[in-house]
């Protein structure tokens, strides 16, 4: 019999999106084909501790990680095993690492910093393990909204006017920061952490006092805060993208928020009659539909994405202007998440989507492995 592909699914993490990651991981592990894949759940606590024994998902959901066996990956391609860490208590513990499971591929279901930003991707590349999603550069640029805007601007793609605020500047002169924002942007504005998703830390600000509160809230989560001018009568349009060198775009979807904007609460807490509404496909003209799909692929390729991403747009109902809002290189995978729902509407089921993502991960890894890592000038003699 053919051996099952061993898939490490990493979730949790040191991020404000920790709980969202757990929900995404539960959905992925519930949908993955167990006849084809052997799943190795790998949890990361809010403190950064890796665990792989017992039921890591349950341990993180209950917060009872103290008794779980710690685990680690080594940045060594000759040892692609997930390692169990064992040691003794004391001032200078002796730690012993023993193999727990050799991983064929990893599916990071990590949202936000220390997972979606290129950090885990770098570790996996050092370890020589194929992984689902964008490489280090695509992950890092996609995570940092300020750098992402710079890339979009350089590529001539439409973005909303914004001001970048450093937390240090806010600490030194809050009034000076607000003066600078007000000279550049008109109210209302949105304040958001530059390196976070799921609408964590985002506020809508209608005046100076609201701006002060919004900047303080966003600065809790990141050293860089983005202040963006609100798009008049904005519609939230989202497109899922899939692929490596020849990406394809799904049908667009539209989010009708249950609150004034698509906040964390409207994404994950509001339900029943109070839930946000997802319109799939989005009610757009055929011309706008093709424009949005084409621009989603442009955005994806501009930051060198791979595997998957969800590209979000803002469309003004008043002016008809379309703006690139952001890209999510590890989009939500919960039962209510737009990324899998858009592919389902396009003709790719959830289990098939997981299959394709794993295939793309292995394909990208093989392409990466083709690159030579040593150089011998022509005609030069070899040296030890």
Whether residue 295 is found in the same domain as residue 333:
yes
Whether residue 259 is found in the same domain as residue 347:
yes
For residue 263, name the pLDDT band (cuts at 50, 70, 90): very low
> What pLDDT, on the 0 to 100 scale, is given for residue 383?
53
Return d(Cα 148, Cα 154) in angstroms, integer.
10
CATH number of the domain to which 273 belongs: 3.30.470.20
Domain count of the chain? 3
Whether residue 149 is found in the same domain as residue 38:
no
Residue 91 lies in a domain: yes
Query: What count of residues does the chain have?
Result: 384
Whether residue 273 is found in the same domain as residue 146:
yes
Q: What angle do CA 362, 50, 78 make, to 5 degrees?
A: 45
Per-residue pLDDT tens digits for 9-64: 999 999 888 999 999 999 999 999 999 999 999 999 999 999 998 899 999 999 88
CATH number of the domain to which 213 belongs: 3.30.1490.20
Per DSSP, the residues of 269-323 read T--GGGS-EEESS----HHHHHHHHHHHHHHHHHTT--EEEEEEEEEETTT--EE
Whether residue 152 is found in the same domain as residue 283:
yes
Q: How far is CA 90 from CA 87, 93, 207, 232, in A?
A: 10, 5, 55, 61
In terms of residue numbers, what domain contains 216? 162-229
Closest by Cα among 290, 301, 312, 327 to 238: 312
Residue 373 lies in a domain: no
- Please, what's the largest Cα pairwise distance for the chain? 75
Whether residue 127 is found in the same domain as residue 168:
no
Residue 127 lies in a domain: yes
CA 356 to chain centre: 18
CATH number of the domain to which 107 belongs: 3.40.50.20
DSSP 186: P
Rounded average pLDDT over 117-128: 96
Whether residue 10 is found in the same domain as residue 49:
yes
Whether residue 313 is found in the same domain as residue 207:
no
Residue 381 has pLDDT above 70, yes or no: no
> What pLDDT, on the 0 to 100 scale, is given for residue 67?
75
> What pLDDT, on the 0 to 100 scale, is given for residue 308?
98
Residue 172 lies in a domain: yes
Return d(Cα 244, Cα 240) in angstroms, integer.
13
Rounded average pLDDT over 320-345: 94
Residue 65 has pLDDT above 70, yes or no: yes
Whether residue 75 is found in the same domain as residue 204:
no
> What pLDDT, on the 0 to 100 scale, is given for residue 69?
83
Whether residue 214 is found in the same domain as residue 320:
no
């Amino acid at each position: 019999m053919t051996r099952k592909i061993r898939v490490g699914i990493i979730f949790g993490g040191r991020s404000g999106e920790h709980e969202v990651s757990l929900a995404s991981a539960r959905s992925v592990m519930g949908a993955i084909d167990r006849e084809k894949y052997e799943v190795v759940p790998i949890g990361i606590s809010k403190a950064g501790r890796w665990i792989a024994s017992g039921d890591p998902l349950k341990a993180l959901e209950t917060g009872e990680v103290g008794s779980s066996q710690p685990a680690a990956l080594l940045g060594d391609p000759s040892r692609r095993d997930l390692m169990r860490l064992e040691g003794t208590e004391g001032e200078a513990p002796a730690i012993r690492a023993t193999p727990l499971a050799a991983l064929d591929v990893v599916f990071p279901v990590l949202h936000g910093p220390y997972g979606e930003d290129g950090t885990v991707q770098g570790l996996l590349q050092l370890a020589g393990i194929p992984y689902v999603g964008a490489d280090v550069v695509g992950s890092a640029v996609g995570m940092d909204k300020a750098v992402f805007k710079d890339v979009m601007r350089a590529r001539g793609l439409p973005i909303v006017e914004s001001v970048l605020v450093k937390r240090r500047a806010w600490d030194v002169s809050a009034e000076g920061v607000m003066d600078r924002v007000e000279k550049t942007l008109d109210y209302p504005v949105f304040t958001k952490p530059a390196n976070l998703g799921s609408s964590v830390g985002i506020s809508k600000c209608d005046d100076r006092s609201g701006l002060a509160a919004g900047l303080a809230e966003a600065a809790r989560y990141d050293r860089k805060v983005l202040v963006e001018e609100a798009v008049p009568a904005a519609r939230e349009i989202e497109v899922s993208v899939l692929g490596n060198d020849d990406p394809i775009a799904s049908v667009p979807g539209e989010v009708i928020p249950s609150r004034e904007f698509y906040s964390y609460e409207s994404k994950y807490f509001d339900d029943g009659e109070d839930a946000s509404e997802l319109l799939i496909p989005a009610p757009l003209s055929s011309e706008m539909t093709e424009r949005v799909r084409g621009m989603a692929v442009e955005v994806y390729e501009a930051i060198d994405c791979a595997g998957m991403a969800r590209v979000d747009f803002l469309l003004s109902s008043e002016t008809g202007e379309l703006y690139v809002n952001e890209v999510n290189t590890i989009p939500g995978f919960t039962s209510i998440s737009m990324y899998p729902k858009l592919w389902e509407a396009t003709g790719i089921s959830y289990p098939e989507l997981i299959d394709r993502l794993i295939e793309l991960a292995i394909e990208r890894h093989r392409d990466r492995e083709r690159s030579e890592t040593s150089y011998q000038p022509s005609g030069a003699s070899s040296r030890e």
